[in-house]
A and B are shown apart, each in its own frame.
Chain A
Amino acid sequence: KAGVTQTPRYLIKTRGQQVTLSCSPISGHRSVSWYQQTPGQGLQFLFEYFSETQRNKGNFPGRFSGRQFSNSRSEMNVSTLELGDSALYLCASSLLPSLLSRTDTQYFGPGTRLTVL
């Protein structure tokens, strides 16, 4: 069974630009969560999607948004990039969202390394 895939793996952008990251979950998984990791910080929860609906959201500004498609693939978008948005962005998939099952395991992708210059 193929794991979670993320594209692109690396991205370089300049301040003010916008970026879209993609995540394809494990086949059969309907929930996708996004996380940000910056140097010195643990993984910070961005949002979770299930059945094309955002089910939960972390404490990030509105510049961070996402969506999920009918095939469960998800994208996240960051607009008006800032230097502080440079980070590793991870997505994780699970059968059910955390709101419905807090014991369901989330399986992580390899991440997209975003550098903002």
Chain B
Amino acid sequence: ILNVEQSPQSLHVQEGDSTNFTCSFPSSNFYALHWYRWETAKSPEALFVMTLNGDEKKKGRISATLNTKEGYSYLYIKGSQPEDSATYLCAFNDYKLSFGAGTTVTVRA
């Protein structure tokens, strides 16, 4: 069973503040890491697919970095807004998506 861990489990952020959280995965046999955002009552939405060590991806105020040698990825939200409130999931692709439990972000106005 693949161990994909995300921390923290949840966090509360004041509107306008920036935040980041972690996804840890096995560093051996790495191929791809996927990030998803899952808002309440909606479908999970793909954010990034990351493949290369040192990769940095950006989508609006959200960005992600990847370190395949040590087995972690950071997701950053800059200037958090209430609409950023969601659960952020990472998934390690070992011929199927193995998801972490997610980090639930709540942005307080």
Contacts and interface: CB of A to CB of B under 8 A. Distances in A.
Contacts, number: 61
A99 B93 CA distance: 10
Contacts of A66: none
Interface stretch (A13-21, A67-75, A76-84, A104-112): A104-112
Looking at chain A, what size class is its interface with the partner chain? 20 to 34
Given A33-B97, A41-B101, A103 B32 contact: yes
28 contacts: A3-B43, A4-B43, A33-B97, A41-B101, A42-B4, A42-B101, A43-B44, A43-B97, A43-B99, A45-B96, A45-B97, A45-B98, A56-B96, A59-B1, A90-B44, A98-B97, A102-B31, A102-B32, A102-B94, A102-B95, A103-B49, A103-B93, A106-B46, A107-B43, A108-B36, A108-B43, A108-B44, A110-B43
Given A42-B89, A102-B31, 11 more contacts: A42-B100, A43-B99, A45-B96, A103-B93, A107-B43, A108-B43, A108-B45, A109-B43, A110-B42, A110-B43, A111-B43
